[in-house]
Amino acid sequence: MGIEYVMHAGVCVRDLERSIRFYRDGLGFSEAGRLEIDGEPTATMLEMPELELRAIYLERDGYRIELLHYPTPGTVGPAEPRPMNQPGLTHLAIRVADLDETIREIERFGGHVLDKTRVYNPIFDAHLVYVTDPDGTRLELVQTPKDPTR
């Protein structure tokens, strides 16, 4: 197979500066680069005949996300959490030291807590909850002394 490495995951946002503050200041990501593209060939690739794209690359712990903002043609669709059983990217998972403190920071930077999702999983001794970024992208917060993914 010719794959060299995974580059990033893209997250479409309505307000670029608000989302930069959320991910950078609220979640501790660092800016790794910026990109501004207008027109072709990206318009064809993204299937948007008229295109202005502003992208900000943010990194944390070896993981890179790309915040995508479209001044033209703008964003479409609701800014609410997608159903977890809808195909496609469902969430980003983040391990936290203090769930309550992280929730306060999430809310301070424009995110929202999905209170009904807060649970304790005794198998992993884990406290978990879903929150969203300002545009409704789900983030799973996990506080546990163990790492159930390893």
Instruction: State mean pLDDT over 123-131.
Output: 93
| pLDDT at residue number 148 | 62
**Distance separating alpha carbons of residues 18 and 32, to the nearest angstrom:** 17
Instruction: State mean pLDDT over 105-118.
Output: 96
Q: Find the range with the poorest average confidence among 5-14, 32-41, 71-80, 108-117.
A: 71-80
What's the number of CA atoms in the CB half-sphere (13 Å) around residue 136?
11
Q: Name residue 92's beta-bridge partners.
A: 139
- Buried b / exposed e over 121-134, threshold 16 CB at 10 Å, is eeeeebbbbbbbbb
Q: Is the pLDDT of residue 1 over 80?
A: no
Question: pTM, whole model, 2 decimals?
Answer: 0.90
What's the number of CA atoms in the CB half-sphere (13 Å) around residue 11?
27
| pLDDT at residue number 110 | 96
User: Please, where in the chain does CATH 3.10.180.10 lie?
Assistant: 9-72, 92-143
Instruction: State mean pLDDT over 46-60.
Output: 94
Q: At the fourth CATH level, which superfamily is domain 9-72? A: 2,3-Dihydroxybiphenyl 1,2-Dioxygenase, domain 1 (3.10.180.10)
Q: Is the pLDDT of residue 35 over 90?
A: yes
Predicted confidence (pLDDT) per residue in 36-47, tens digit:
999 999 989 999
In CATH terms, the fold of domain 92-143 is 2,3-Dihydroxybiphenyl 1,2-Dioxygenase; domain 1 (3.10.180)
